[in-house]
Every structure is written in C-alpha cells, then in structure tokens.
C-alpha cells in the first residue's frame, strides 16, 4: 500500500488534523454552549441527561447555575476532561441531526482515507472528543455521502485509552489490537506532544501542519516528520518507491509489491462499501483516487508535499526517508522495531 505495506493501522487525531481547529472552537464548542441553558432547564432530571451530569464533580452536578458556569469555564479553557467531552457529545447530537452542523474535512482527507481503507489499511480514531462525538462527526461530514463511519474500525478517547499526551495511552491502544505491532501503527496528529508520546510507545507518527494550526517551532521540523496533507504521505512514499525501484511503474509503486496490500486492494473497496466509488467531498476534487492519478502526482510533486521547511539531503536521509525506506524494505527498521520485526512474517521474507 501507499502508506507502506508494513503500516497496518493509521490512527488519526481529529481537530487540526482532519478538520480545522476553527470548526471545533468556533462551531462545535459554541453550539454546545448555545443549547446548554435550554437542555439544563428542560432535561435536568431526565435519566438520559442525568447520566452526563452525574459524571461531574459533586459541587457542580446538583446545582444548575454551578453546573452551567463550570461547563462554560471548562469549554473556554478547552479542558480535555472526559465528563465535559461526554456532555459536549450529547449536546452536539441535535445539531448534527438537524443538519445545522456538518464536519468540514480538509479536502485531501476523504480521498486519502478511502484509498488507504481500500488497500486494507485499518483506520482508527483517537481524539479527546468522546467516542460518541467522534462517531457523530464521521456520520455527518461534508462528503457527498456524509456518513464515513464505515471506514473506521476502532475509536479511542480519553476514557478507553487515556490522555493523548501520555505514551501509556498508545500502549493501551496497541494492546487492544494484539495482531498489530506498535510499529505498524502510524499516528497522525497536529499536536507535537501527542506525536512524541506515540513514538515513545513504539508507533510511527507524523506531525500534521494544517491551515489554522499554530506555528510549529523550528526544532519540530528537525525532530519529526511534518506533512501538510495526507496526500504528502502518499506521494512521498510513491516517489521513494519509484526511486528505489527505478524501472518500475507508478502503478506498481502505489499498490505495493508482494504484500498483502495487493490482495486487500483487490478485495476491500466496493465489496465492503458500495458507495465507495461515489465518494467525494464538497470542497475537494472529484477524482476517484487511482494509481494513474498518483502517477501524475509523482511527476509533479508540490513543494508543500515534502517535509516542510527543509530540503531533501542526499547524504543524510530524513526521518521520512527512513520511514519510507522501511516501508518498502530498503532499510533496516529503527532499533525499536528491529526486535519486533524479528517476530513478524515480514522479517522472514
């Protein structure tokens, strides 16, 4: 596959990675605060709402004014505490259901995720937003066929995994998929601390720099791989693969060689989702992702699609070079994955 035949799971952050930070800060958070007074007034004693308020500390859960003031305070400080995230998910339900809220994915997201999914890569979400809130967002996107939940094979939040800046959370996620080695996860996030934690847990991870995100410190570019689009991960792989294989075609490069990815590519896409062919974002391009299109991309990669702020160094391969070389089997894995790799069928090949 294009991410790499050895990456089996792409684990995705949401805010600032698949959609703009402003969608969360300027649409989702204000919507929750807008409906809060009415919900508190009309549903305070309803069992459904009580489930959420009972998770709040005692000093807030029995007093409507204190409860609301606390929600406003936490939301304004973007505190990622699970009882707030649970409540927000509940408050967003009606907004998504009525069509007032639609999740605007970055234009490259749908095509790339569909391509990776179609090739057998599992897509999973890890967000501070609650799992129900994640599902709502993926069910109500700006895609022509808005419900993309079928693409996602697992969902993680601060309750079932832990805080995103702690490496133990990534270990927990990996432990829930014992068939996949930590080094076969690729975590994509705009938050450098999260990327650092995932790498510490043995995962591969790349910083995603999107429009509207905070500037990254210069040293981030030295220390981590940084991409501006998911397509950059795809293109960079294809370019490296073509360089490594010389005479081979872009089609072969995109599909991956001798890997189970080819089998997955043949079996997965439309069989699993008959709508897959019709997918396109309202903001993105209409083209179906295809090897031919990837080949065109190889011919003219854009400047932003390689490691941001650095030039390719022929002598000293970048971290992305190494990651990609590992992906195509041209380089030994990092020390962390060496031992793991010994145990994998890939190592024996």
Ligand X SMILES: CSCCC(=O)C(=O)COP(=O)(O)O
> Contact letters (x/-) for ligand X, 297-326, by CB under 6 A?
------------------------------
Q: Enumerate residues 78-97 that contact ligand X by CB under 6 A.
A: 80, 85, 88
> Contact letters (x/-) for ligand X, 135-164, by CB under 6 A?
--x--------------------------x
Q: Binding of ligand X at residue 281 (CB under 6 A)?
A: no
Which residue number has the CB closest to ligand X? 129
Angle at the Cα of 274 (from 126 to 130), degrees rounded to 5? 20
Taking CB under 6 A as the criterion, the residue among 105, 123, 133, 199 binding ligand X is 133
CB closer to ligand X out of 134 and 326: 134
Q: Binding of ligand X at residue 205 (CB under 6 A)?
A: no
Q: Binding of ligand X at residue 134 (CB under 6 A)?
A: yes
Only one of the segments 127-135, 142-150, 305-313, 334-342 lies at the binding site for ligand X (rule: CB under 6 A); that segment is 127-135
**Among candidate residues 113, 86, 107, the one with its CA nearest the CA of residue 32:** 86
CA–CA dist 280, 301 (Å, integer):
22
Please state the closest distance from residue 128 (CB atom) to ligand X, in A: 4
Q: Binding of ligand X at residue 198 (CB under 6 A)?
A: no
Q: Enumerate residues 7-46 that contact ligand X by CB under 6 A.
A: 13-15, 24, 28
Please state the closest distance from residue 19 (CB atom) to ligand X, in A: 8
CB closer to ligand X out of 129 and 162: 129
Which alpha helices (DSSP H) does the chain contain, by range?
A: 21-22, 29-43, 47-53, 58-61, 64-76, 82-98, 109-118, 131-139, 167-175, 192-200, 218-223, 230-245, 250-255, 260-267, 269-272, 291-299, 319-327, 335-342, 345-348
Are 143 and 282 within 8 A, CB to CB?
yes
Helix 230-245, helix 319-327: angle, nearest 10: 70
CB closer to ligand X out of 213 and 308: 213
- Tell me the site size for ligand X, rule CB under 6 A: 15
Lookup result for tokens 């996602």: 152
Tokens read off for 253: 């490069």
Please state the closest distance from residue 47 (CB atom) to ligand X, in A: 24
CB closer to ligand X out of 6 and 128: 128
Q: Binding of ligand X at residue 127 (CB under 6 A)?
A: yes
CB closer to ligand X out of 133 and 148: 133
125: phi then psi, degrees, rounded to nearest 5? -115, 140
CA–CA dist 21, 88 (Å, integer):
16
Please state the closest distance from residue 89 (CB atom) to ligand X, in A: 7
Q: Binding of ligand X at residue 259 (CB under 6 A)?
A: no
CB closer to ligand X out of 197 and 255: 197
Helix 230-245, helix 291-299: angle, nearest 10: 80
Give Cβ neighbours of residue 117 (< 8 Å, ≥ 6 apart): 123, 151, 268, 269
Are 91 and 32 within 8 A, CB to CB?
yes
CB closer to ligand X out of 228 and 305: 228
CA–CA dist 253, 249 (Å, integer):
6
Q: Binding of ligand X at residue 128 (CB under 6 A)?
A: yes
Where do contacts with ligand X occur on this chain (CB under 6 A)? 13-15, 24, 28, 80, 85, 88, 127-129, 133-134, 137, 164
């Amino acid at each position: 596959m294009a991410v790499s035949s050895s990456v089996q799971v792409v684990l995705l952050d949401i805010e600032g990675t698949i959609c703009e930070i402003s969608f969360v800060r300027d649409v989702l958070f204000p919507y929750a605060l807008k409906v809060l007074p009415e919900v508190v007034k009309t549903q305070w004693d309803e069992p459904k709402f009580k489930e959420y308020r009972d998770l709040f500390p005692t000093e807030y859960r029995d007093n409507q004014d204190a409860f609301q003031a606390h929600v406003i305070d936490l939301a304004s400080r973007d505190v990622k505490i699970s009882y707030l995230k649970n409540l927000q998910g509940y408050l967003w339900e009606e907004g998504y259901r009525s069509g007032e809220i639609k999740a605007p994915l970055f234009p490259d997201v749908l095509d790339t995720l569909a391509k990776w999914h179609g090739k057998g890569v599992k897509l999973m979400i890890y967000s501070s937003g609650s799992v129900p809130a994640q599902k709502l967002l993926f069910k109500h996107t700006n895609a022509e066929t808005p419900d993309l939940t079928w693409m996602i094979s697992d969902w993680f939040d601060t309750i079932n995994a832990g805080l995103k800046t702690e490496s133990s959370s990534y270990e927990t996620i990996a432990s829930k998929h014992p068939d996949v080695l930590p080094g076969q996860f690729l975590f994509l996030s705009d938050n450098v601390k999260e990327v650092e934690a995932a790498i510490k847990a043995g995962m591969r991870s790349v910083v995603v720099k999107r429009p509207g995100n905070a500037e990254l410190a210069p040293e981030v570019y030295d220390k981590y791989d940084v991409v501006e689009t998911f397509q950059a991960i795809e293109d960079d792989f294809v370019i490296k693969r073509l360089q490594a294989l010389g005479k081979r075609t872009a089609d072969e490069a995109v599909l991956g060689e001798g890997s189970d990815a080819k089998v997955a590519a043949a079996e997965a896409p439309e069989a699993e989702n008959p709508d897959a062919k019709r997918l396109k974002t309202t903001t993105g391009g209409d083209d179906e992702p295809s090897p031919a299109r990837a080949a065109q991309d190889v011919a003219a990669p854009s400047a932003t699609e390689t490691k941001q702020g650095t030039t390719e160094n022929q002598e000293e391969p970048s971290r992305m070079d190494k990651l990609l070389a590992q992906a195509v089997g041209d380089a030994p894995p990092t020390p962390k994955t060496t031992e793991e790799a010994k145990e994998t069928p890939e190592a024996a090949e």
